[in-house]
Amino acid sequence: MSQHVPAVRGHCDERFAAVRTAFEENFRDRGELGAAVTVTVDGETVADLWGGWADPARTRPWERDTLVNVWSTSKGPVALCAHILADRGLLDLDAPVAVYWPEFAAAGKEKVLVRHLLSHRSGLSGLREPHTLAQLCDWELTTKRLAETEPWWEPGTRSGYHALTYGFLVGEVVRRVSGLLPGAFLEREVTGPLGIDFRIGLPEKEAGRAAELVHPPAASSSEQAAIFSQLAPAALAAVGNPPVGATEANSPEWRAAEIPAANGHGTARAVAELYGIFAGQGSYDGHRVLSPEAAERVREGQGSCRDLVLGAGLESETEAGLGLWLSGPNNSYGPNPRAFGHDGFGGSCGLADPEAGVSLGYVMNRMGPHIADDPRKMALIDALYSTL
């Protein structure tokens, strides 16, 4: 897969030269098309690099302010919204969801707690009835269906990755408490005041800055059938109802919608800044966003298990905190097992390690086939920790 390495731009402190080397190797050896990576240490930006192309035709260079859909890396900022409300005493993470969203108590969900939504343990990994992309873009319809649906497993007993539903579930609680959808709440409370270049959904006026996602090579129909035959109904609902990929994410409909679990758009710098709030124990660039106690609560482990959705694609058990995943024995976010973060479909990543004072944001447009721990992401994380 070796190929010409495009010019990498930006800056990188000499101490972190290994990060730059790994970033360049992603282009040369790991098929990178366009990408950016940013690393902060104790709130200071020590690496901010970008390179490659924003489109598969290689007509638009990736620029410093290129935005890209980061898929589930968006879930960290959504969780942040809930934790801000909890920190202010407006949301009790141990209360039943129905306290804030009464309709949610239907179909045996009256005992589902807010913490179950944050940790992928509500049993609502996906909807039971067929749900189209157009319907997914309809907030009221999607949240109404989630309120009415029956859980796939006993809530609270184990995790099952809520790939698309997470943002509607946590987001509707945010809306019921604050009166704002999570995108507007995040902008008002965090990204606006801190000047962070990240938004849930993408205004049409910003579309010219957006990179075009490229889906990984498709499996053959027989390979796809074999993969799907191994998935439990809860997993099929999570990843295939509706099926989404690069084509959908490049569409104006997807970009304009509020799909908080999956359509955050930002730069690597923005991702590093948002996850830097967690790394900085609730504070970033002199701004206190969360109390230290609230920031610590984000990584409160909710029990290790083989996730009902992700389990088939990962070698070992994983553990969700209250909105982000712990690095654990897989070293998904570096060697500190209590570091935490979130991957996005195809490769992107946000990482927070409070003990090291480190945050990392990695974004790209050529999606890889991995559920998590894409080799490009892991190479960057390994390089970062080799310098610390």
Query: Which letter, b or e, does each residue of 8-41 get, where b requires 16 or more Cβ atoms within 10 Å of its Cβ?
Result: bebebbeebebbbebbbbbbebbebbbbbbbbbb
Half-sphere exposure (CA, 13 Å, Cβ side) for 202? 29
The CA distances from residue 224 to 192, 218, 219, 220, in Å, are 42, 9, 6, 6
Is residue 337 within 8 Å of 328, Cβ to Cβ? yes
State how beta strands 325-326 and 264-266 pair: unpaired
**CA–CA distance, 379 with 20 (Å, rounded to integer):** 11
d(CA 212, CA 214): 7
Q: Which tokens belong to 19?
A: 């990060």
Catalytic residue among 2, 72, 159, 251: 72
DSSP assignment string, 283-333: EETTEE-S-HHHHHHTT----EE--TTTGGGSSS-EEB-SSSEE-GGGTBT
Q: Helix 17-29 vs helix 375-387: angle between axes, to the nearest 10 degrees? A: 160
Answer yes or no: 72 catalytic: yes
Q: Identify which of 53, 55, 85 has the alpha carbon closest to the alpha carbon of residue 176.
A: 85
Q: Report the side by side order of strands in the sheet with 68-69.
A: 68-69, 264-266, 198-200
The pairing of strands 287-288 and 304-305 is unpaired
Cα angle: 264, vertex 239, 332; to 5 degrees: 65
**Is 61 within 8 Å of 69 (Cβ atoms)?**
no
Going by C-alpha positions, the residue among 371, 350, 331 that lies closest to residue 235 is: 371
**What residues act catalytically?**
72
